[in-house]
Chains A and B, each alone.
Chain A
């Protein structure tokens, strides 16, 4: 009865639009991630305020806020499928690659929204230098892609576990440690006033990390999803 036409791009888009619709109607993940981000930022700003922190400390604080905010919401896409029982229908119908990519793009949208809200507030509440924004925006984009690339697969792994939240952070941490070190190092250099050309090696590392994580996840996802 229906017409055969949809390729991987259409299937991926369908998963993404479905997750976006569900999120806009229920706001489980967005609320969790924003509440956590804003609360952590408020705590940090009250604790350190405009006290002239070093660029290294500022960069570390920023990415710690991002890491824990991501941990509070990025697993929701898969956890919701398991908790509401819709995972079975999805497994029996959808191409696993389309499911992974749809969820990856959804997580990217979620974390990007959070970043757009949190980042200006971070500059307002701390004395982080904001005169070298172009390279920082580039680091943010690569950081968000890297965080989503690594955590989307882990979200699928922990979705069936009893203690999802704790397990998500524990499993993600070793994978994200190298990314966080790279992000903190690159952000520190940007806060120190270095240009895009001067942080080229850090950017190469961030691109490589994102490519490896996403490629590895696409290859492994089918096995995680079907088990």
Chain B
């Protein structure tokens, strides 16, 4: 059983308060939508959760069976997709997938790569350089990278950004598939996306 909890989390950029007093605790099988108007700090909150920004106050704890997880264990269990997450443009999709699998401590066969690419609707494009992909195809490839592992924490920032209807279906199916075994956090303004989560954290109020 995994848990993600925050305690009185606050973030400031200089004199500007982004958010404060964020408290939540979610466990495996639960999902949380982070909602709020543009600039309310949704992406900032996700970056704080992912330890990419230091909170001004409060703390974030990733726990497994109530024991805190170290950095390596968190890296092993977190998958993150966001429009500002960039893969290597001058590598092919297959090279990107193999690279991210290997640095995460796994190995992946060509067959598994093909299967992952097919799941995100990129079959037959594995040998193309990512630089030639459209923004929607790049977003799909990020989901393929996220699916390299069965994450205990699936964190999505604007999950259907740049995606067409077929791409959105892929994301919704992924969320459904991981719902029971993962903690899912979605930062969004789209009604159809935040309705996928059971709990809501509103920012900018």
Q: Which of B72, B86, B91 has the most CB of A within 10 A?
A: B86
Assess whether A92 is in contact with B75, with CB atoms less than 8 Å apart.
yes
A26 at the interface (CB under 8 A from B): yes
Which of A26, A85, A93 is close to B103, meaning CB atoms less than 8 Å apart?
Answer: A93
Assess whether B52 is in contact with A10, with CB atoms less than 8 Å apart.
no
Assess whether B105 is in contact with A85, with CB atoms less than 8 Å apart.
no
Number of interface residues of B (CB under 8 A): 37
Q: In the assembled complex, how far is the CB of residue B186 from the closest CB belonging to chain A, in whole angstroms?
A: 17
Q: Give the dominant DSSP class at A's interface.
A: helix
B24 at the interface (CB under 8 A from A): no
How many Å lie between the Cα of A4 and that of B150 in the bound state?
12
Assess whether A86 is in contact with B88, with CB atoms less than 8 Å apart.
yes
How many Å lie between the Cα of A5 and that of B109 in the bound state?
12
Assess whether A1 is in contact with B88, with CB atoms less than 8 Å apart.
no
Q: From A10, which residue of chain B is reached at the shortest CB distance? A: B102
Assess whether A21 is in contact with B103, with CB atoms less than 8 Å apart.
no
Given A89-B85, A92-B75, are A1 and B102 also a contact pair (CB < 8 Å)? no
Assess whether B106 is in contact with A5, with CB atoms less than 8 Å apart.
yes
Given A4-B106, A92-B78, are A84 and B86 also a contact pair (CB < 8 Å)? yes
How many Å lie between the Cα of A199 and that of B153 in the bound state?
57
How many Å lie between the Cα of A10 and that of B98 in the bound state?
12
A residues in contact with B90, CB < 8 Å:
21-22, 25-26
Which of B80, B88, B107 is close to A2, meaning CB atoms less than 8 Å apart?
Answer: B107
A98 at the interface (CB under 8 A from B): yes
A residues in contact with B72, CB < 8 Å:
95
B148 at the interface (CB under 8 A from A): yes
1-55 of chain A: CB within 8 A of chain B = 1-7, 10-11, 13-15, 18, 21-22, 25-26
89-111 of chain B: CB within 8 A of chain A = 89-91, 95, 98-109
B residues in contact with A7, CB < 8 Å:
105
Q: In the assembled complex, how far is the CB of residue A77 from the closest CB belonging to chain B, in whole angstroms?
A: 13
Given A18-B88, A92-B78, are A6 and B102 also a contact pair (CB < 8 Å)? yes
Which of A25, A91, A98 is close to B52, meaning CB atoms less than 8 Å apart?
Answer: A91
Given A1-B112, A14-B99, A94-B103, are A88 and B75 also a contact pair (CB < 8 Å)? no
What string of 1s and 0s marks CB contacts (under 8 Å) between A133-161 and chain B? Answer: 00000000000000000000000000000
B197 at the interface (CB under 8 A from A): no
Number of interface residues of A (CB under 8 A): 31
Q: From B104, which residue of chain A is reached at the shortest CB distance? A: A93
A residues in contact with B115, CB < 8 Å:
1
Q: In the assembled complex, how far is the CB of residue A214 from the closest CB belonging to chain B, in whole angstroms?
A: 20
B residues in contact with A86, CB < 8 Å:
86-88
Assess whether A89 is in contact with B112, with CB atoms less than 8 Å apart.
no
Q: From A226, which residue of chain B is reached at the shortest CB distance? A: B51
Q: In the assembled complex, how far is the CB of residue B78 from the closest CB belonging to chain A, in whole angstroms?
A: 7
B48 at the interface (CB under 8 A from A): no
B116 at the interface (CB under 8 A from A): yes
Assess whether B106 is in contact with A6, with CB atoms less than 8 Å apart.
yes
Q: In the assembled complex, how far is the CB of residue B15 from the closest CB belonging to chain A, in whole angstroms?
A: 22
Q: From A11, which residue of chain B is reached at the shortest CB distance? A: B103
A residues in contact with B147, CB < 8 Å:
1
A residues in contact with B80, CB < 8 Å:
92
Assess whether A22 is in contact with B88, with CB atoms less than 8 Å apart.
yes
Q: In the assembled complex, how far is the CB of residue B183 from the closest CB belonging to chain A, in whole angstroms?
A: 16
A175 at the interface (CB under 8 A from B): no
Q: State the A residues within 8 Å of B (CB).
A: 1-7, 10-11, 13-15, 18, 21-22, 25-26, 84-86, 88-95, 98-99, 226
Extra contacts, 13 of them, besides A2-B149, A10-B102, A18-B88 (Cβ < 8 A), are A1-B112, A2-B101, A2-B106, A3-B107, A6-B104, A7-B105, A18-B99, A26-B90, A84-B86, A88-B85, A89-B86, A89-B100, A90-B103
The 10 closest A-B pairs by CB, nearest first: A85-B86, A2-B106, A14-B102, A94-B103, A2-B108, A5-B107, A25-B90, A2-B101, A6-B105, A86-B86
